[in-house]
Chain A
Amino acid sequence: MIQIQELHKRFSKNKVLIGVDLEIQNGGIYAILGPNGSGKTTLIKAILGMVLPNKGKIHLNQKDIKNQWKYRENIEYLPQIANFPGNLKVSELIKMIIDLRSKPSSSDELIQRFGLEPFLDKKLNTLSGGTKQKVNLVLTFMFDSPLIILDEPTTGLDPIALLTLKELIAQEKKKGKTFLITSHIMQFVEEVADEIVYLLEGQIYFKGTIEELQNLTHKTNFEHAIAALTAQNV
């Protein structure tokens, strides 16, 4: 369970998060949405401890995460831009992350699933964007952690890989895991998300299921509902 209280963050003069209060229960898929610059990534990074809040507290399973690092053992994170040390081979990168976390992994199965076997001996700087993203996904899903954070997971994926990703998410969800996902592909969000957290100008503007959102905005189409949500404010 994630509890966020009165979270403030600004980068020099730019206030990105202004008093965010959020509670996320265990289990389920939460889509964090919002226009560009609304603070989605900052919020995620605050949970990961990569961004240090100016004010406010974040508790993960009732424990304050400030100045901690061990708790990240129970989080998987898929960063937005998949860029790795170029001189490492794919297999070496995977081995390295396994080595760093020293946890059992299901990397072989995932490699097979994304069809990465031919690339294992390639250096990372020779891979295409899509392949890199696949490697990125393998790294994220290969451990069995209760919280998974995906920042734009669909970037650069071909339709088959996208399908595999969706299967994976569904499969892991069944195990009772919690997902935090940001995406610009509304179709994808609509398909996978249980709940929407809508951020606008550094604050939680809406939190609820897709149905609730549709009811609120009187739009049946999800994409239009989101657009309406943004427009209402403007």
Chain B
Amino acid sequence: MFKILKYSFYDLIRSRWSYVYFLFYLLLGFVLLFLNNDLSKAVITLMNIIIILVPLIGTIFGVMYFYNSREFTELLLAQPIKRTSIFLGQYFGVACSLSLSLILGLGIPFALYGLFESNAIFDFSLLLVTGTFLTLIFTAMAFNIAISNENKIMGFGYSVLLWLFMAVIYDGLFLMSLILFEEYPLDNFSLLATMFNPIDLSRTLILLKLDISALLGYTGAVFKKFFGTQLGLFISISMLCLWTLAPIFRLAWKAKRKDF
């Protein structure tokens, strides 16, 4: 698996798109820091961008890579390599190169700006950690979509739909149900609903650390307990891990049963 990972990764880090993606973050980081000069505001702006853009790029890039490397995959399938190794190797290759673009692209300007002496370093690293998680999750989901759909157009359609659903539609339905059932106690429901969407989960995880936890705690004891203690951080991170592992397992399962 690591050989495949290595080659996919090398292939990708030399692709034009990785550079574009990397340069985008680099530029974003510099612009935010040097035009703004306010680290904590930059972190908030970055959060807004990361939780929307990372899933989008992850899904699109994942699906694109999978379809584009179809023939190469066939070449590999004829080699004495386990199937799961091929797909997981490719998956981690894509996910790692995307994550690297993100981490380096944002890390360099922040490091130059003097992040290590600032107390925003924890917020910032949390931002990168969730960004990496989102990359892992959405690339894995994209691979799942691609492996289940022979038709490229359908695959792209589903992946954009997935992103749209997770980034926007889910929250709309969530909000509607909250308003619809406003006379019932909703705190447990809303926490649960947050857990079922990795984008919402990452958002709350970052907000948790951006000192807004008390603001969220304003609604009641359940929120307060969740957001005010380490419990929230712990549960959110474990849920993100679950969100990462589930599609990877399905990918491995599907890879074993697929004809090429």
Contact = CB atoms under 8 A, between A and B. Distances in A.
Contacts, number: 74
A76 B11 CA distance: 24
A76 B4 CA distance: 19
A85 B74 contact: no
Given A50-B259, A52-B259, A100-B3, A83 B80 contact: no
A169 interface: no
B81 A100 contact: yes
B71 A84 contact: yes
B152 to A, nearest CB: 14
B interface SS class: helix
Instruction: Give the bracket for the number of chain B residues in contact with chain A.
Output: 20 to 34
B11 A77 contact: no
Interface stretch (A66-74, A187-195, A203-211): A66-74
Contact of A75 (B10, B74, B78, B82): B78
Contact of A96 (B7, B12, B70): B7
A79 B79 contact: no
Contacts of A77: 75, 78
A72, A87, A101, A149: residue with the most chain B Cβ atoms closer than 10 Å: A87
Interface string A127-157: 0000000000001000000000100000000
Interface residues of A, number: 33
Interface string B74-89: 1111111111000000
Contacts of B68: 86
Given A11-B259, A85-B7, A72 B71 contact: no
A93 to B, nearest CB: 9
A79 B78 contact: yes
Contact of A48 (B3, B11, B14, B77): B77
Contacts of A51: 259-260
B80 A85 contact: no
Interface string A159-184: 00000000000000000000000000
A84 B260 contact: no
Contacts of B81: 69, 72, 100
A18 interface: no
B257 A52 contact: yes
Given A50-B78, A52-B257, 16 more contacts: A51-B259, A52-B259, A69-B81, A72-B79, A72-B80, A72-B81, A75-B78, A79-B74, A79-B78, A84-B71, A84-B72, A84-B75, A85-B72, A86-B11, A88-B10, A100-B81
6 contacts: A9-B259, A48-B78, A50-B74, A50-B260, A86-B68, A96-B7
Interface of A: 9, 11, 45, 48-52, 69-73, 75-77, 79, 81-88, 92, 96-97, 99-101, 139, 149
